[in-house]
Copies of this chain bind each other. A is one copy, B any other.
Amino acid sequence: MNKLIEKLKDNDCKVTLQRIAIYETLKDSNSHPNAETIHKELSPKYPTISLATVYKSLELFVSLGLIQAINVEENSFRYDWKYKSHPHLICSACKKVEDLEIHPFSNLSHEAEILTGYSIEKQQLNFYGSCPDCIETS
């Protein structure tokens, strides 16, 4: 949260209750929620917060490099409070999105740069399939 406040101040953005609440909600969630889910989670505590504010704040956080947007195969974005891009595992059965923390997939961008002449800012690696729990159930 200090990180949020610092980053906001550094960029002449105001530190508001809403922004803190949105960031905290995202940070405390392990489910890579989308804007609407975040809004729903906030509603009990902050009934007046608007969905538009959630969208605007998330967009701001992404542009400040505070969080990352991940584009799962729905046509809605999910958000990850970890700003550093890392692979995700997406279960097609239960729709959960997990981080793949231990990854041997870190230096792909560098290899791609050498191969292509692109200057790569970001990589996105998603694996789609069934998680162990869903395999068992089926």
Contact = CB atoms under 8 A, between A and B. Distances in A.
Interface of A: 69, 71-73, 75-77, 87, 89, 91-92, 98, 100, 102-105, 108-109, 111-113, 115-132, 135
B105 A118 contact: no
B100 A119 contact: no
A34 to B, nearest CB: 11
Contact of A128 (B73, B104, B123, B130): B123
Contacts of A132: 116-118
Give me the 6 closest cross-chain CB pairs, A-B, nearest first.
A120-B129, A117-B132, A122-B128, A124-B126, A118-B129, A119-B130
Contacts of A72: 71
